[in-house]
C-alpha cells in the first residue's frame, strides 16, 4: 500500500450522492449541530417552563433567516468575486456562510418571536446560548471538510508537535502547503465555552436573567478575536478584519450591558430583567 498517497489524499467533501443530488458533509455537519442545539434547548426549556413547541416554532422562523443573513454577510464582503460569478451566490453547500451573520439574523428573529409570543427574550437567549456555542463548535468541522477557516503556512512537524491527529493534518495540506488549523482552535474554544456555561448557569445567585447569553457573547467574542487574527481567509473591509471588529463590539457591548443591568437601569421591554426566582 502506498502510504504517501494516503497522506496527500484530502477527505471527500461529498458525503453521499443520490443520482444528480450531492449531499455535502458541510451541510450534514451544520444540520447535526442545529439538531443537537434544538434538543439541548428543549431540555433546558422544560426546566424553565418554556413549551417545547415554542422552540420548534422559533426554529422554523430563525433557521431560514439565519442562513440568508449568514450567506448575505459573506457575499457582501466577497462582492468583487460574486459580482463576477452571480450563479454561485446561492451555493452555500460549497461553504461561505458567516456565523456572525447567522447570529445577527437569529437574534433579530428571536426578539420579534418573543415579542409576538409574550416570552422573555432574555430567558430564551439564556436557554439557547450554551446550545448555540456547541453548535458553532460542531459547525467548524464543516469548514474542515471544505478546507476552509485556516491560518498561515506551517510545517507538518509543527502540527504534529501540537498533538494534532494525522487525519486532521492531512486535511490541512491545502494548495501544496500545510496550514494552521484555526478551525480546530475555534471549535475547541467553543466546546470549552459550552461546558463552562452549562456548569455555571444554574449556580445559585451567580447569574441574573440574560447574563448567560451576555457571557456567551463575551466568551465567543474573545476567542474569535484572537483566532481570527491567525486566519488568512478572513473577510476584510480594507485593512480591517470584519469578524475581529464585530468580536470587539460584541465583547465590549455585552460587558457594558452586563454592568448596566446589574445596576437595574431602565431598559426597553426586550432588555428588561426578570428577577423572579433570584
Taking the domains of the chain in order of start, what are their residue ranges? 19-271
Q: Are 244 and 225 in contact (CB under 8 A)?
A: yes
Q: Is the pLDDT of residue 268 over 60?
A: no
Give kind and range of the element (H or E) at residue 90: none
Residue 93 in grid coordinates:
453547500
pLDDT confidence bin for 74, thresholds 50/70/90: very high
Please compute the mean of the pLDDT values over residues 148-170 and round it to a whole number.
96
Question: pLDDT for 227-258, tens place per residue?
Answer: 999 999 999 888 999 999 999 999 999 999 99
**196 Cα distance to chain centroid:** 16
Q: Is-contact 88 80, C-beta < 8 A?
A: no
Per-residue pLDDT at 59: 97
Helices 182-200 and 211-228 cross at an angle (nearest 10°) of 160
CB-hemisphere CA count at 13 Å for 85?
9
Place of cell 446589574: 262
Nearest to 92 by CA among 63, 133, 58, 55: 63
Q: What is the pTM of this model?
A: 0.88
- CB contact at 8 A, 85 and 110: no
pLDDT value of position 158: 97
C-alpha cell at 146: 471544505
Amino acid at each position: 500500500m502506498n502510504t504517501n498517497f494516503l497522506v496527500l489524499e484530502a477527505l471527500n467533501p461529498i458525503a453521499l450522492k443520490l443520482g444528480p443530488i450531492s449531499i455535502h458533509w458541510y451541510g450534514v455537519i451544520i444540520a447535526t449541530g442545529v439538531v443537537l442545539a434544538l434538543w439541548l434547548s428543549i431540555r433546558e426549556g422544560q426546566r424553565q417552563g418554556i413549551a417545547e413547541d415554542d422552540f420548534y416554532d422559533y426554529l422554523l422562523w430563525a433557521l431560514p433567516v439565519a442562513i440568508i443573513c449568514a450567506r448575505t454577510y459573506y457575499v457582501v464582503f466577497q462582492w468583487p468575486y460574486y459580482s463576477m460569478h452571480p450563479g454561485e451566490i446561492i451555493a452555500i453547500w460549497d461553504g461561505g456562510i458567516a456565523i456572525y451573520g447567522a447570529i445577527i439574523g437569529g437574534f433579530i428573529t428571536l426578539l420579534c418571536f418573543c415579542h409576538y409570543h409574550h416570552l422573555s427574550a432574555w430567558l430564551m437567549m439564556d436557554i439557547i446560548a450554551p446550545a448555540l456555542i456547541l453548535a458553532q463548535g460542531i459547525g467548524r468541522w464543516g469548514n474542515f471538510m471544505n478546507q476552509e477557516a485556516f491560518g498561515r503556512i506551517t510545517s507538518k512537524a509543527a502540527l504534529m508537535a501540537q498533538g494534532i491527529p494525522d487525519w486532521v493534518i492531512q486535511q490541512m495540506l491545502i494548495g501544496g502547503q500545510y496550514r494552521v488549523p484555526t478551525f480546530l482552535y475555534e471549535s475547541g474554544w467553543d466546546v470549552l465555552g459550552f461546558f463552562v456555561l452549562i456548569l455555571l448557569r444554574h449556580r445559585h445567585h451567580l447569574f441574573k436573567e440574560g447574563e448567560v447569553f451576555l457571557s456567551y457573547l463575551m466568551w465567543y467574542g474573545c476567542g474569535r478575536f484572537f483566532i481570527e487574527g491567525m486566519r488568512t481567509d478572513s473577510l476584510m473591509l480594507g485593512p480591517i478584519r470584519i469578524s475581529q471588529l464585530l468580536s470587539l463590539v460584541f465583547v465590549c457591548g455585552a460587558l457594558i450591558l452586563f454592568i448596566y443591568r446589574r445596576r437595574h437601569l431602565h431598559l426597553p421591554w426586550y432588555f428588561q430583567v426578570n428577577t423572579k426566582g433570584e
